[in-house]
């Protein structure tokens, strides 16, 4: 186990396109870090630089107290779980798990012990002698995790490991990964573009946008105090309303800020409220209903309990502490 | 498309039966001829049913051959052909899988040039470069040797491209997983690439074995010592009786014998062969 330190890490691909720039991050021993961001923002690139699969063009990566910029992936003491699992198709599950250990000359008895232990943890014991082809997607995913566990590495690196699973299994595996990491206390970096996964798994979230870090913080911090309009729009579902301040002149603070952010659930009906909303489309989600509409020309979505009649005009109010104020040009949070 | 019209069905079967007859009839005639005695051909009509001399003819050919034609016993020629076909098949597979490995997985200087050199050999099969190749082989003192028979046929690129294609379909993550698992390049080659190309290698082996076995022009050209005659070239020499009629019953026995090893290889490796051609198990 080890801490990981990224110092001004950057990547310029041959050809000159910049994928990642100036990433500074201190990961404590045993911490679960989730990298989250939209497609193409450089999450995989960043992770692969830590793994050693991608060369580092700027800055440095430290694992433990060692700079590993030039160290081969196998010698970095990390284990990686790939999106498509990347199991060796011609080897049985047992051989898949044992292959890395065999290559580092682990004694046979020790290999057997670790494989059996991992199999027990992940409940893949019954499949140990099958080929990956004969497993379901979820079982393959477990094997891929098993391959990481048996290494007993200093850090786990996950690149969207659950994105090939169906929704239900994804939730179950999410909990299991969290559990597992708690139990093993292995430093982990987890890449996902699913913000729900990010919120539930992370000790700390790193929100990336176009190769730059937008915000680092615990999931609740990031949710409660998004550092920019980008984070505000990305974390939370349904997404936070970002309303031009001049559309809601009666809200406190709208004189200084350019953009006011309000989460849909924070906008509540109130006959005396200062905001008037013209109701448009309605989405019934069962537990709640999402009401889309316009406030002085700006698009707004609110989440209401799923009962009662709706008129086509609603008066709304929001508590002052539920308002987020952002600068116009930089999109940065103002307070 | 599944159609079920009886007329079409009958027609399809007629065509297939015709095809089988066209292929099988000459083989049958050869087999029948190989069971007859020399005199059966004097009459001018071709016999259609086997005669009583099967064991006698085959035993004679395998054991001593037709001494007047200057060919060694068939057993010797079959052994030569076997050595040649195996060397070509194995040699070509070994060379091309290694070169494909280099081209796909390594970035080395002049990689583009190497690729094109291999590509150019596609346009230069032995038949095209036969005179200069003969010169080179003669200069190296390889006339009348197994090396001379097989090496010039090994050097060509077709199989390199096949393996290149196979390797290109392997997911990058597999390579990366192996790197993280501490497999160096050669270990990766041995533990992962080779087993995953097993069926392709088998398919290629069948094709190349038959290619090597059926070589005619090249062995005819570079073997003057009867000890190195191959069976396909040998049949030609036997049929060329200088004085008197060719001994057709013996020539045909040789021809039937010459067919057996390729058939055995095809049947023996059929399952792998078909897998290698149709299946992608990645
Ligand atoms: N080999 C490469 N050469 C050049 N540019 C690349 C290369 N690989 C990735 N990129 C670029 O780098 C950027 C970041 O890619 P990356 O794969 O890290 O995105 P990501 O955040 O993982 O996206 P996703 O969620 O879709 O997986 C993208 O704009 C991509 O086009
Ligand atoms: Mg990615």
- Is position A14 within any domain? yes
User: What single string gives the DSSP state of each residue in B113-144?
Assistant: HHHHHHHHHTT--TTTTHHHHHHHHHHTT-TT
Give chain A's length.
Answer: 335
Is residue A112 scored above 90 in pLDDT?
Answer: yes
For ligand 1, atom 7: residue with the closest CA: A13
Structure tokens at A250: 């009666």
Alpha carbon of B189 to those of A146, A310, B97, B186: distances in Å? 24, 67, 10, 5
Q: Which residues of A touch B174 (CB under 8 A)?
A: 86, 88
Q: Nearest CB to A79: which of B180, B187, B192?
A: B180
Note whether A20 and A160 are same-domain residues: yes
For chain B, which residues score pLDDT lower than 50?
282
- Is position A335 within any domain? no
Strands A18-27 and A4-12 turn out to be: antiparallel
Q: Tell me, what's the pLDDT at B282?
A: 45
Note whether A213 and A108 are same-domain residues: yes
Note whether A158 and A94 are same-domain residues: yes
- B:137-176 residues touching chain A, CB 8 A cutoff: 171, 173-174, 176
Report the percentage of chain A scoring pLDDT > 70.
Answer: 100
Residue A190 · residue A34 · CB < 8 Å: yes
Q: What is the mean pLDDT of chain A?
A: 91
Q: What's the total number of domains in chain A? A: 2
Rounded to the nearest angstrom, the gap between the alpha carbon of residue A95 and the centroid of all alpha carbons in its chain is: 31
Nearest ligand by distance to the CA of A54 = 1
Structure tokens at A81: 């779980």
Classify burial at A107, counting beta carbons within 10 Å of its beta carbon; exposed 0-12, middle 13-18, buried 19 or more.
exposed
Q: Is the CB of A13 under 6 A from ligand 1?
A: yes
Note whether A188 and A315 are same-domain residues: no
- For residue A67, the SS3 value is strand
Residue position matching structure tokens 């045993």: A30
Residue position matching structure tokens 């350019």: A258
0.80 exceeded by pTM: yes
Residue position matching structure tokens 């200093």: A154
- A:143-202 residues touching chain B, CB 8 A cutoff: 147
pLDDT tens-digit series, residues A84-108: 999 999 999 999 999 999 999 999 9
Q: How far apart are CA A45 and CA A27, in angstroms?
A: 18
- Is position A103 within any domain? yes
Q: How far apart are CA B71 and CA A10, in angstroms?
A: 74
Note whether A315 and A167 are same-domain residues: no
Q: Which residues of B touch A98 (CB under 8 A)?
A: none
Any idea of the CA torsion for B255, B258, B264, B270, to the nearest 10 degrees? Answer: -80
**Mean pLDDT, residues A55-69 taken together:** 93
Q: How far is B279 from chain A (nearest CA, A)?
A: 13
- Is position A256 within any domain? no
Structure tokens at B265: 């290889």
Structure tokens at A65: 């107290």
Structure tokens at B81: 């052909």
pLDDT tens-digit series, residues A148-200: 999 999 999 999 999 888 888 899 899 999 999 999 999 999 999 888 899 99
Q: What is the DSSP letter of A333?
A: B
Q: How far apart are CA A258 and CA A244, in angstroms?
A: 6
Note whether A50 and A199 are same-domain residues: yes
- A:122-141 residues touching chain B, CB 8 A cutoff: 133
Q: Specify the CATH number for the domain of residue A17.
A: 3.40.50.300
Note whether A269 and A212 are same-domain residues: no
Q: How far apart are CA A12 and CA A54, in angstroms?
A: 11
- Is position A18 within any domain? yes
- Is position A257 within any domain? no
CA of A134 to the centre of ligand 1 (A): 32
Q: Tell me, what's the pLDDT at A79?
A: 94
For ligand 1, atom 2: residue with the closest CA: A13
Question: Is B177's CB within 8 Å of A79's CB?
Answer: no
**Mean pLDDT, residues A231-246 taken together:** 91
Q: Specify the CATH number for the domain of residue A298.
A: 2.40.50.140
Give the number of other CB atoms < 10 A from CB of residue A130: 15
CA atoms within 13 Å, Cβ hemisphere of A256: 9
Ligand 1: atom nearest CA of A46 is 18
Note whether A206 and A266 are same-domain residues: no
- Is position A267 within any domain? yes
B279 interface with A at CB cutoff 8 Å = no
> What residues make up the domain containing A314?
239-246+262-326
- Report long-range pairs for A237-244 (Cβ below 8 Å, ≥24 apart): A237/A195, A237/A196, A238/A264, A238/A290, A238/A301, A238/A303, A239/A264, A239/A301, A240/A264, A240/A324, A241/A267, A241/A299, A241/A300, A241/A301, A241/A302, A242/A326, A243/A295, A243/A298, A243/A300, A244/A298
Interface test with A, best of B173, B180, B182, B198 (most A CBs within 10 A): B180
Note whether A267 and A214 are same-domain residues: no
Q: Is the CB of A19 under 6 A from ligand 1?
A: yes
pLDDT tens-digit series, residues A252-309: 877 777 899 999 999 999 888 888 899 999 998 888 899 999 998 899 999 988 877 7
Note whether A310 and A215 are same-domain residues: no
Question: Is B182's CB within 8 Å of A53's CB?
Answer: no
Q: How far apart are CA B231 and CA B251, in angstroms?
A: 11
- A:240-279 residues touching chain B, CB 8 A cutoff: none
Q: Which residues of B touch A84 (CB under 8 A)?
A: 171, 173
Greatest C-alpha distance within chain B: 77
Note whether A107 and A196 are same-domain residues: yes
Q: Is the CB of A42 under 6 A from ligand 1?
A: yes
Q: Tell me, what's the pLDDT at B242?
A: 65
Note whether A222 and A280 are same-domain residues: no
User: What single string gives the DSSP state of each residue in A123-159?
Assistant: T-GGGTTS-GGGS-HHHHHHHHHHHHHTT--SEEEEE
- Is position A138 within any domain? yes
**Closest Cα partner for B266 from B280, B276, B281?**
B276
pLDDT tens-digit series, residues B181-240: 999 899 999 999 999 998 889 888 999 999 999 988 888 888 888 888 888 888 888 877
Report the percentage of chain A scoring pLDDT > 90.
Answer: 70
């Amino acid at each position: 186990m080890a801490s990981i330190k990224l110092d001004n890490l950057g990547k310029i691909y041959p050809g000159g396109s910049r994928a990642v720039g100036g990433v500074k991050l201190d990961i404590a021993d045993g911490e679960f870090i989730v990298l989250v961001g939209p497609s193409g923002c450089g999450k995989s690139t960043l992770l692969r630089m830590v793994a050693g699969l991608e060369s580092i063009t700027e800055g440095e990566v430290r694992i433990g107290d060692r700079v590993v910029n030039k160290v081969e992936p196998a010698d970095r003491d990390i284990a990686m779980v790939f999106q498509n699992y990347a199991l060796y198709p011609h080897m049985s599950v047992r051989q898949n798990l044992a292959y890395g250990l065999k290559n580092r000359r682990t004694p046979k008895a020790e290999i057997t012990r670790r494989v059996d232990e991992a199999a027990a943890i992940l409940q893949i014991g019954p499949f140990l002698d099958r080929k990956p082809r004969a497993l379901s997607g979820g079982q393959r995913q477990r094997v891929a995790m098993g391959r990481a566990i048996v290494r007993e590495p200093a850090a786990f690196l996950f690149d969207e490991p659950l994105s090939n699973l169906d929704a239900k299994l994804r939730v179950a595996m999410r909990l299991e990964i969290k559990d597992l990491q708690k139990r093993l206390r292995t430093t982990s970096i987890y890449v996902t573009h699913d913000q729900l996964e990010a919120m539930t798994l992370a000790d700390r979230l790193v929100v990336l946008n176009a190769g730059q870090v937008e915000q680092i913080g615990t999931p609740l911090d990031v949710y409660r105090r998004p550092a920019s309009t980008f984070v505000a729009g990305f974390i939370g579902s349904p997404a936070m309303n970002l309303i031009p301040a001049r559309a809601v002149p009666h809200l406190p603070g709208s004189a200084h800020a350019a953009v006011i952010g309000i989460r849909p659930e924070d906008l509540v009906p109130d006959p005396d409220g200062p905001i008037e909303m013209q109701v448009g489309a309605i989405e019934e989600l069962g537990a709640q209903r999402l009401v889309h509409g316009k406030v002085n020309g700006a698009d707004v979505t609110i989440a209401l309990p799923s009962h009662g009649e709706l008129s086509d005009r609603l008066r709304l109010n929001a508590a002052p502490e539920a308002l987020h104020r952002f600068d116009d040009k930089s999109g940065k949070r103002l307070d | 498309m599944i159609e079920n019209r009886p007329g079409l069905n009958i027609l399809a079967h007629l065509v297939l039966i015709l095809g089988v007859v066209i292929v099988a009839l000459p083989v049958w005639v050869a087999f029948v001829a190989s069971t007859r005695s020399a005199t059966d051909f004097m009459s001018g009509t071709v016999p259609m049913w086997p005669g009583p001399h099967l064991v006698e003819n085959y035993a004679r050919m395998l054991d001593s051959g037709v001494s007047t034609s200057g060919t060694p016993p068939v057993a010797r020629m079959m052994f030569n052909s076997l050595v040649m076909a195996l060397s070509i098949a194995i040699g070509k597979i070994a060379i091309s899988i290694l070169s494909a490995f280099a081209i796909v997985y390594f970035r080395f200087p002049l990689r583009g040039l190497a690729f094109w050199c291999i590509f150019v050999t596609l346009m230069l099969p032995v038949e095209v470069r036969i005179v200069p190749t003969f010169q080179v082989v003669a200069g190296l003192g390889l006339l009348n040797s197994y090396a001379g028979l097989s090496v010039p046929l090994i050097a060509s690129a077709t199989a390199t491209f096949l393996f290149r294609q196979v390797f290109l379909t392997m997911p990058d993550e597999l390579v990366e997983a192996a790197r993280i698992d501490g497999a160096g390049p050669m270990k990766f080659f041995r533990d992962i690439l080779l087993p995953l190309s097993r069926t392709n290698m088998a398919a290629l082996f069948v094709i190349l074995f038959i290619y090597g076995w059926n070589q005619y022009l090249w062995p005819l050209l570079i073997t003057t010592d009867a000890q190195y005659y191959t069976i396909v070239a040998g049949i030609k020499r036997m049929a060329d009786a200088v004085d008197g009629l060719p001994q057709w019953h013996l020539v045909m026995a040789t021809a039937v014998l010459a067919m057996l090893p390729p058939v055995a290889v095809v049947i023996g490796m059929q399952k792998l062969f078909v897998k290698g051609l149709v299946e992608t198990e990645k």
